[in-house]
Chains A and B, each alone.
Chain A
Amino acid sequence: MLKTQDSVFLEFDNVKKSYDQKNLVVKGFNIAVEQGEFITLLGPSGSGKTTVLMMLAGFESVTSGTISIRGNSINRTAPYKRNIGMVFQNYALFPHMTVAENLGYPLSVRGMNKTAQRDRIAEYLKLVELDAFGDRYPGQLSGGQRQRVALARAMIFEPTLILMDEPLGALDKKLREQMQYEITRLHEQLGFTVIYVTHDQTEALSMSNRIAVFNDGIVQQCAPPAELYERPANAFVAEFIGENNFIKGKVDRIEGGRAVVSIPGEGTIVAEAAGGLVEGANSVVSIRPEKLFIHPTTHDHDNEIEAKFIARIYVGDFIRYYFRLADGSEIVVKVLNDLSAPEFSEGDTGRLQWLISDSIAFPDQAEMPETMG
């Protein structure tokens, strides 16, 4: 996208960052964000996502490249002049000030008069449903309440851009879901732009307009959640986002965007060919556990392989079946917990079936990423 284009609000242009003058932590980050978008930077720890956020906030310098807002570079703008709201993982609420004083801080810094401040504070406390908590100190609030105050404080001076650095990391599962909803609601209601950093993919998938998946300082893929899940650009993204099975094989031939892959000891299967796949090379074929079906099934299928049953784990709403392929690799199948869930005993052989369009053949990278917790 061109900088002159009106719709571009925030742009990273080939931004690099090195801390030790030897290694790059961020290796050429590019993104163009539109006004009002909710962008999530997702990646394992140490992937460079927080560094990107810190450069945007102005707490880390940019080694090379340009960060610009509305076409103007902010590389050399002091953090306090950027007018960017920020929510921290530990909330960073000032412990010696009441909730109202915390909210009033950015306003008094801007020289707003006391009455206007009071009105604005009341308005934002109402917005995060903490009307009665203005006189409390942060130490007297629960984790979820602190998070709401931190959100209100980042929004109260009406910045056009709000950064969130793993804001829900310290909350338990239930509160986290509640706050995800809360943040989404405020985002839609107020229309600010959000750059959100997290290592929690569920959080990223449920909240964002677009997700940039980071690994090793590089954006592996930047796409809307559904596309990221359904059409991962490479094996890392396929592995990192959601759960996936990988079957190793060799590409026999590629025809019409589909690869015919021969699996040692299993015959051949057909899958959508990912970019960079060449005939004769090694490949990994990814299939989501919920897209696999165990024979007998009413679902259509294009591929079928046989595998040895290992274990069946009862999860509740669904059942996980573990199978082993001839080459020793494991395959997980997720089956809805209904009457059709089959019974197996150890050593049985099952027939696993799936559609071509549900599987993607990626080039086999020498180093497959480790499974992320």
Chain B
Amino acid sequence: MADTMAANPGKRDSGLASEDARNAAKEVRARRMRAFLFVVPLLVFITFAFVAPIATMLFRSAYNPTVAELVPASLDTLKEWDGVDRPSDAALTQFAIDLKRLANDRTSGRLAEEINRFMPGTSSVVKSTARKLRRVEDAELQQSGVDLLIEANEAWANPQVWRALQEAGRTYTSSYYLTALDLETAPDGTIQQRDTKIYLKLYGKTLWMALIITVLTLILGYPLAFYMAHSSTARANFLMVFVLLPFWTSLLVRTTAWIALLQTNGVVNSTLIALGLTRDPLEMLYTQFSTIIAMTHILLPFMILPLYSVMRGIDPSYMRAAMSMGSRPIPAFLRIYLPMSLPGLSAGALLVFIISVGYYITPALVGGTDGQMISNIIAFHMQQSNNWELAAALGSLLLFLIIALYWLYDRFVGAGNIKLG
């Protein structure tokens, strides 16, 4: 009996000596280190090119130090103010002194711009007052700053202007987010709706357009992916070239091609007129229609690729099995094939939807005013109105919106169902 035990190595004690355990742990550490080194360049790149800009954007949307840095003393004196009547004389005097200093530093324009965002029309008030106060002696300002200020522009008697200054002077503010949501702070401090809804409407339109584009790419892409997945490898590869062809041409060229097609004297209109289907050319370019049609075209590969790769993996015997059991082709498709292709479908739909929600170039080129999406207004605030804080707030909201949609998707469909290949 003892002999058989000794002859059987499987029965031996498998415990590791402490030195063995140390060596094994060292080996594992070394392997992890090597694996980590492979991703270091990407990690560094992502930190600088992705994480840092997004963090800056999120920060910028709530951080607004300009006014606080320009007139810190005035904002200090305004702290005592009850916010109803005209602020105290001391506050007004201090502001007059500050404004004179700004006028001489040539930074009063920045202050004017900042306050104007909170109360449209105040830009000229600040600028003209600054011009008048520039030559006044400091001693005189100290003495009768209040009168000089109101003399320069009687708007300074209006408490609303001071409230705007106070608002603009907050270093950390939620006001850009309120603006981005079409809300504002009422004089009594409560949050209320703005009269005109700009951004909410635009968000709604963006989501709606993204949804239409997703559905369109699905309707166009699903049958093609199905056909490709069920044809010979040679034919599927040949068709794949056509699917990928758009990726090899510039996005700008493709969008411009749509301009050539859709414009008033373009290919589509001349064909329609030649066929006698319409007498007057249709207005297709610079509309929501043109944005949707061009984006559907551009985003179609993002739908087809995941669909195709998932469908390629579905063995034809599943449909055959369903039919051999007596199911007609369409019910068998709905009950068997469609659920099996769902991972590709959700990946494609999610991809197209998220890309189109943040799409910029195509709506900018063919959208006109009607086809603008939220990205275009963000770009507008960055490039034209120079309101980076609002642009950052709008961008952050877009980010939160997409995260929320993804969360909803995960709740109801399950993120584990996404499959790209």
Contact = CB atoms under 8 A, between A and B. Distances in A.
Interface of A: 57-59, 78-86, 88-90, 92, 94-96, 105-106, 109-110, 153-154, 157, 163
A109 B327 CA distance: 6
B315 A92 contact: yes
B416 to A, nearest CB: 13
B317 A153 contact: no
Contacts of B120: none
A152 to B, nearest CB: 12
A156 B339 CA distance: 23
B320 interface: yes
A71 B325 CA distance: 22
Given A95-B340, A96-B339, A96-B340, A109 B318 contact: no
A163 B325 CA distance: 12
Nearest to B326: A109
B317 A106 contact: no
A305 B199 CA distance: 101
Nearest to B325: A106
A256 to B, nearest CB: 52
Nearest to A150: B321
Nearest to B315: A90
Contact of A110 (B320, B326, B329): B326
B233 interface: no
Contact of A109 (B329, B331, B339, B340): B331
Contact of B320 (A81, A88, A153): A88
A61 to B, nearest CB: 14
Contacts of B335: 105
Q: Which 4 A-B pairs have the closest CB atoms?
A: A106-B325, A92-B321, A86-B324, A92-B317
Contacts of A79: 320, 323-324
Nearest to B322: A105
A86 B324 CA distance: 6
Contacts of A78: 323
Nearest to A96: B339
A88 B335 CA distance: 19
A105 B325 contact: yes
A85 B315 contact: no
B315 A80 contact: no
B326 A83 contact: yes
25 contacts: A58-B323, A79-B324, A80-B323, A80-B327, A80-B329, A83-B326, A85-B324, A85-B325, A86-B320, A86-B324, A88-B317, A88-B321, A89-B317, A90-B315, A94-B318, A94-B336, A94-B340, A96-B339, A96-B340, A105-B325, A105-B335, A106-B325, A109-B326, A109-B327, A110-B326
B201 interface: no
B327 A92 contact: no
Contacts of B326: 80-81, 83, 106, 109-110, 157
A94 B314 CA distance: 11
Q: How large is the interface on B (under 10, 10 to 19, 20 to 34, 35 or more residues)?
A: 10 to 19
Contact of A92 (B320, B329, B331, B339): B320
A83 B327 CA distance: 10
Interface in B308-360: 315, 317-318, 320-329, 331-332, 335-336, 339-340
Main secondary structure on chain B at its contact with chain A? helix
Contacts of B318: 92, 94
Contacts of A59: 320, 323
A57 B324 contact: yes
A109 B320 contact: no
Contact of B317 (A84, A90, A95, A157): A90
Contact of A153 (B325, B329, B331, B339): B325
Contacts of B324: 57, 79-80, 82, 84-86, 154, 163
A248 B326 CA distance: 54
A36 B340 CA distance: 36
A79 B329 CA distance: 10
Contacts of A109: 325-327, 331
B276 to A, nearest CB: 44
A81 B336 CA distance: 18
Contacts of A83: 326
Interface string B137-156: 00000000000000000000
A92 B316 CA distance: 9
A150 B306 CA distance: 29
A140 to B, nearest CB: 16
Contact of B327 (A85, A89, A105, A154): A105
Contacts of A81: 326
A109 B324 CA distance: 11
Contact of A157 (B320, B323, B325, B339): B325
B324 to A, nearest CB: 4
Contacts of B331: 109
B333 to A, nearest CB: 12
Contacts of B336: 94
A79 B328 CA distance: 9
Interface in B281-328: 315, 317-318, 320-328
A92 B336 CA distance: 11
Contacts of B320: 57, 59, 79, 86, 88, 92
B316 to A, nearest CB: 9
Contacts of A106: 325-327
Contacts of A85: 324-325
Nearest to B328: A80
Contacts of A96: 339-340
Contacts of B325: 80, 85, 105-106, 109, 153, 157
A153 B327 CA distance: 13
Contacts of B327: 80, 105-106, 109
A106 B340 CA distance: 18
Nearest to B314: A95
Contacts of A90: 315, 317
A58 B320 CA distance: 9
Interface string B12-29: 000000000000000000
Contacts of A58: 323
Nearest to A59: B320
Contacts of B321: 86, 88, 92, 94, 153
